Amino acid sequence: MKIKDLNSWPIENIKRPLIISGPCSAETKEQVLTTAKGIKAAGIQIFRAGIWKPRTRPNSFEGIGAQGLIWLQKVKAETGLLTATEVANARHVELALGAGVDILWIGARTTVNPFAVQEIADALRGKDIPILVKNPINPDLELWIGAIERLYAAGLTRIAAIHRGFSTYQKLKYRNDPQWQIPIELKRRLPQIPLFCDPSHITGDRNLLDEIAQKSMDLNYEGLIIESHCKPEEAWSDAKQQLTPQALQELLANLVLRNPEANNEVINNTLGELRHLIDDFDEKLLELLENRMQIAKTIGHYKKENNITVLQNKRWSEILEKSLIQGMKKGFSEQFVSNLFKAIHQESINQQEDIMNS
């Protein structure tokens, strides 16, 4: 795919990070205009507002609807800001384009539905407007890439991705689990696509926005989409995760921006030597895993000969418990050790099941 970079967007003097901000929902004309003027004063060029809001329950506020597009037109006329809103079907696309909205995005609940994404792609065919695609609510990289591919196949080339975290049943610090490895893999597979972070939906808490915004910058994301409201505590939706334009300006001022590469031969040579050591350790790790799997296969043959089940829960619990204790003593996180040994154990099971079925 030949996706265009952010310099092709209708924005002047693009600097990293490119910021898109505004309220979760357009509520009233006054709220929209007041927030937009605050966004403008903060030096931001793109104003976002939800017009149609996909909600879990039908009795929740589902957006002001098409009349909010008139308010976005007012924002553009009075402030010169570019405008952005979410679309979930062809009718939304038609109305948004008719109102002169500059940038569209596809929400997480829509990305998960290939039929809906295809409908939007068909409605946008021949109109190369910038469009952002949020990750699906479930951690499925292929769905995310598939949505991007559908838009690209319809002729759109100014496409960006938004990382907004993934739903989980676990009780975590954040509203949605970041699962950073997924957007990192997206960027590896689609290196040209601009990547935005949505700290508002990842955290669900304005007090945690700065740490997620900073981490996304450390991971070399190109932009941030952050919800801002003139009176966050009175917001009709997602009040806890929105912040004032003034607070947003402070957050952005405190971001530390680092270079993706060093322009220094000595530093690059040192990094090269250290990375060579990493490569050596990775090779040794794979050799150790190969040796471990050979033993697992031997155990598999012994189990088959003696009619023993592949899985012994007591043994697996002992391995995991011991590994967690040892790993955490060595400074690893519980999640890392757990994920690592679960993956190793699953591969051992797969190898032994192959033997059982041979």
pLDDT, tens only, 311-323: 989 999 999 999 9
**Residues forming CATH 3.20.20.70 domain(s) in the chain:** 6-253
The pLDDT of residue 264 is: 85
Q: Among residues 15, 26, 13, 14, which one has the least CA distance to residue 228?
A: 26
What's the full length of the chain, in residues? 358
- Euclidean distance between CA atoms 202 and 200, whole angstroms: 6
Cα separation values, 357 from 309, 343, 352, 354, Å? 12, 21, 9, 5
Nearest in space to 19 (alpha carbons), one of 174, 251, 203: 251
Reported as type and span, the H/E element at residue 122 is: helix 114-124
pTM: 0.84
- Nearest-angstrom CA–CA distance, 301 and 305: 6
For residue 280, give the 3-state DSSP assignment: helix
Dihedral pair phi/psi, residue 88, rounded to 5°: -125, -5
Return the pLDDT at 200: 97
List of the chain residues with pLDDT < 50: none
Nearest to 341 by CA among 328, 326, 353, 323: 323
Which residues lie below 8 Å from residue 197, measured CB to CB, with a gap of 6+?
A: 162, 163, 212, 213, 216, 221, 223, 224, 225
In contact, 87 and 51? CB cutoff 8 Å: no
Hey, what are 14's tokens? 């693009």
Return the CATH number of the domain spanning residue range 265-357.
1.20.59.10
323: CB partners within 8 A, 6+ apart: 337, 341
Q: Which CATH superfamily is domain 6-253 in?
A: Aldolase class I (3.20.20.70)
Using alpha carbons, list the distances in angstroms from residue 112 to 94, 106, 148, 168, 202: 21, 10, 12, 15, 17
Residue 183 exposed, middle or buried by CB count within 10 Å (0-12, 13-18, 19+): buried
Q: In the chain, where does the domain assigned CATH 1.20.59.10 lie?
A: 265-357
Predicted local distance difference test score (pLDDT) of residue 169: 79
Q: What is the pLDDT of residues 325-349, one digit of tens each?
A: 999 999 999 989 999 999 999 999 9
Supply the pLDDT for residue 55. Answer: 67
Q: Could you tell me the maximum CA-CA distance found in the chain, to the nearest angstrom? A: 80
Q: For tokens 């209708």, name the residue.
A: 10
